[in-house]
């Protein structure tokens, strides 16, 4: 029981820290200060990217530093300064659309019908 209380306190502190960080990102977004796009993964519709380590043979996932889990089914994008409870963003679908190569994931037939 003691370990459970300790875990709960650590979890609550982490959530509070993420909320404070998202509040700062929200202020930055409202001041129209543009953040760097370097930490945003390339060519993926998600807030994480992956690389393959040939030495160990493992796939390494790297999450976007702007994506924050805020507890209570809320997530945030620090790049945009948005906090939402939309279920799409629970799966870490990109909110910002930066560095997203959607054509890689859409079939040629679908693109033909859209044109």
User: Are 79 and 53 a contacting pair, CB within 8 Å?
Assistant: no
User: Are 65 and 96 a contacting pair, CB within 8 Å?
Assistant: no
Model-level pTM?
0.65
- pLDDT per residue as tens, the chain (115 positions): 566 666 688 888 888 888 888 888 888 888 888 888 888 888 778 888 888 888 888 888 888 888 888 877 788 888 888 888 888 788 788 888 777 665 555 544 445 445 4
CB neighbour class for 35 (10 Å; exposed up to 12, middle 13-18, buried from 19)? middle
CA-based nearest residue to 48, from 57, 39, 56: 39
Q: Rounded to a whole number, what is the distance in angstroms from the first to the last CA of the chain?
A: 61
């Amino acid at each position: 029981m003691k370990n459970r209380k300790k875990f709960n306190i650590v979890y609550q502190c982490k959530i509070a820290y993420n909320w404070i960080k998202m509040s700062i990102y929200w202020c930055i977004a409202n001041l129209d200060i543009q953040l760097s796009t370097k930490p945003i993964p390339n060519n993926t519709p998600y807030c994480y990217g992956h690389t393959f380590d040939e030495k160990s043979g493992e796939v390494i996932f790297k999450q976007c530093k702007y994506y924050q889990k805020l507890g209570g089914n809320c997530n945030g994008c620090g790049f945009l300064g948005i906090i939402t409870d939309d279920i799409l963003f629970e799966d870490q679908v990109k909110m910002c659309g930066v560095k997203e190569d959607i054509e890689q994931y859409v079939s040629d037939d679908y693109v033909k019908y859209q044109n």
